[in-house]
Structure 1
Amino acid sequence: MTRFTGKTAIVTGSARGIGEGYARALAAEGANVVIADLNAELGEQVAKQIVADGGSAAFKSVDVSSEESAKELVEFTVEKFGKIDHLVNNAAIYGDMKLDLLLTVPWDYYKKFMSVNMDGALVVTRAVWPQMNRGGSIVNQSSTAAWLYSGFYGLAKVGVNGLTQQLAHELGGSKIRVNAIAPGPIDTEATRTVTPGNMVADMVKALPLKRMGTPEDLVGACLYLLSDDAKWVTGQILNVDGGQIFRS
């Protein structure tokens, strides 16, 4: 398929894991992809491999909590590819996340965490949307943690959901759609690092579909929401979670 031929997409946090899966899939469907991440070594590798596979990609270092860094990302993308059509706000502190309670987490760490995991999506969207030229689409990375007890990680995802819905209203007049994906438990290196094995086993037992998800399980939802197949879909949070969350 070539739904994204001639389009340019920025994917933050795409040097590995789920973000890398999104970036590779977009490139495979014809998009010019900017691999935006703090990890230059891995990010460069992903971009080079996409090009080697026949796609179009470039790496740009970005700190999504920084307005200046987000502005530089936009300038790089426009200079490199001429425009911006799609944005995936995937970057997050996760693989090395500290586990703590809202009542006891060190305040400086909490503020840094929220500046990336919640505010980062807004920072990058504010930088990108003027370049979308009255059209485009944005996908934010949420989580089913927004509907479960998950401490400050879940709180950040509640914020991402609210941000998605508010921006859908503010940007609708500019013909920009904003949606979010809420993954359930996904088998990534980061999840294996953060979540104890016994907790993972208990989560899988409770799922109607008795397995962990994979990054590949999320790709179809992301491409759908970004594409014209979803041209009348905005302000939605789509669970891709093996049936973990039931909402009426």
Structure 2
Amino acid sequence: MRFKDKIAIVTGAGQGIGEAYAKALAAEGASVAVADLNSEQADRVAKEIEASGGTALAVKVDVADPESARAMAETVKSAWGGIDHLVNNAAIYGGMQIESLLTVDPGYYNRFLAVNMNGALHCTRACYESMAERGGGAIVNQSSTAAWMAGGYYSIAKAALNALTVNLASELGGRNIRVNAIAPGPTDTAATRTVVPEPFIEPLVNSLMIKRLGTPEDHVGALLFLLSDDASWVTGQVLATDGGQIIRH
């Protein structure tokens, strides 16, 4: 119960890896705000957490909108008194358009970056003062191994998120707030199945050191470590949980 009496927000927690994060934090004692643009999915996850004996609250949020991010934070503070942990997981991924940088519609491109890159900043700005008031906290941003690949605007957003992680860690360290990121490799979720065509799966798996797709649960251990006091001197880092897909020297 590493997170007993702690209050956590997980964005994009209505499905996939975000859902696994929210349930794992609740299982270790945290009160968890299940934040998602899809309110039905957020409600489902929150109810499942409560049915398992945890404490959860469903909150609708559009992370691309600073006002919506602030409203999310205020809802959580009103319900539970503050914020200790933030997981910036929300992203446009499942069903995303696969388009060249040279031809993608500018409106779609701007919306994509507003969610996948700027969303983490909006949510951090909405939450950090409450964390500081409670003596500090921890933030984990959801990056991707795509940050180190040629993957179009998805790669651009995740590379920028890595840089955002380092810069926020620098700015917030003095307030006792740590900021790190997790970079998942190919993970078997409904979203991945809409993005990666079936014939590509086997060669993708064969390229990994560990010959299987990841699961949402494969990333949970990294999240819990980075948010916990076990990582009290770890900040500004990007941890790849990817089965050996990316090697960085």
Query: TM > 0.5 between the two?
Result: yes
Partner of 1:93, secondary structure, is: coil
Of residues 6-15 and 198-207 in structure 1, the stretch that sits farther from structure 2 once superposed is 198-207
Q: Which amino acid aligns with 2:138?
A: S
Rounded Cα–Cα distance in structure 2 between residues aligned with 1:200 and 1:79:
45
What CA RMSD, in Å, does the superposition of the two structures yield over aligned residues? 0.6
Question: Which residue does 1:112 correspond to in 2?
Answer: 111
Question: Which residue does 1:22 correspond to in 2?
Answer: 21
Partner of 2:175, secondary structure, is: coil
Q: Which amino acid aligns with 1:60?
A: V
How far did 1:203 drift?
1.1
Q: Which amino acid aligns with 1:70?
A: A
Question: Which residue does 1:153 correspond to in 2?
Answer: 154
Question: Which residue does 1:44 correspond to in 2?
Answer: 43
Q: How does 1:199-238 map to 2 (within 5 A)?
A: 199-238=200-239
Rounded Cα–Cα distance in structure 1 between residues aligned with 2:175 and 2:219:
27
Rounded Cα–Cα distance in structure 1 between residues aligned with 2:185 and 2:202:
13
How far did 1:188 drift?
0.1
Question: Which residue does 2:59 correspond to in 1?
Answer: 60
Q: Which amino acid aligns with 1:224?
A: F
Rounded Cα–Cα distance in structure 1 between residues aligned with 2:103 and 2:153:
11
Of residues 175-184 and 192-201 in structure 1, the stretch that sits farther from structure 2 once superposed is 192-201
How far did 1:74 drift?
0.7
How far did 1:102 drift?
1.0
Matched, 1:85 2:49: no
Percent of residue pairs identical? 60
Rounded Cα–Cα distance in structure 2 between residues aligned with 1:242 and 1:198:
20
Rounded Cα–Cα distance in structure 1 between residues aligned with 2:232 and 2:204:
34
Partner of 1:162, secondary structure, is: helix
Question: Which residue does 2:139 correspond to in 1?
Answer: 138
How far did 1:29 drift?
0.1
Q: Which amino acid aligns with 2:214?
A: G
Rounded Cα–Cα distance in structure 1 between residues aligned with 2:199 and 2:173:
44
Deviations 1:29-53 (A, max 9, x none): 0000000001111110110110111
Partner of 2:78, secondary structure, is: helix
User: 5+ residue gaps in structure 2?
Assistant: none
Deviation >2 Å, runs of 4+: none
User: 5+ residue gaps in structure 1?
Assistant: none
How far did 1:244 drift?
0.4
Rounded Cα–Cα distance in structure 1 between residues aligned with 2:195 and 2:233:
37
Q: Which amino acid aligns with 2:213?
A: M
Task: Kindly tell me the number of residue pairs found equivalent between the two proteins.
Answer: 247
How far did 1:240 drift?
0.3
Deviations 1:185-214 (A, max 9, x none): 000000001111122221111101000000
Q: Which amino acid aligns with 1:236?
A: Q
TM-score, normalisation: structure 1:
0.99
Question: Which residue does 1:123 correspond to in 2?
Answer: 122
How far did 1:94 drift?
0.6
Deviations 1:5-63 (A, max 9, x none): 00000000000000000000000000000000011111101101101110000001000
Rounded Cα–Cα distance in structure 1 between residues aligned with 2:88 and 2:113:
14
Rounded Cα–Cα distance in structure 2 between residues aligned with 1:199 and 1:237:
26
TM-score, normalisation: structure 2:
0.98
Question: Which residue does 2:5 correspond to in 1?
Answer: 6
Q: Which amino acid aligns with 2:206?
A: K
Question: Which residue does 1:168 correspond to in 2?
Answer: 169
Q: Which amino acid aligns with 1:194?
A: V
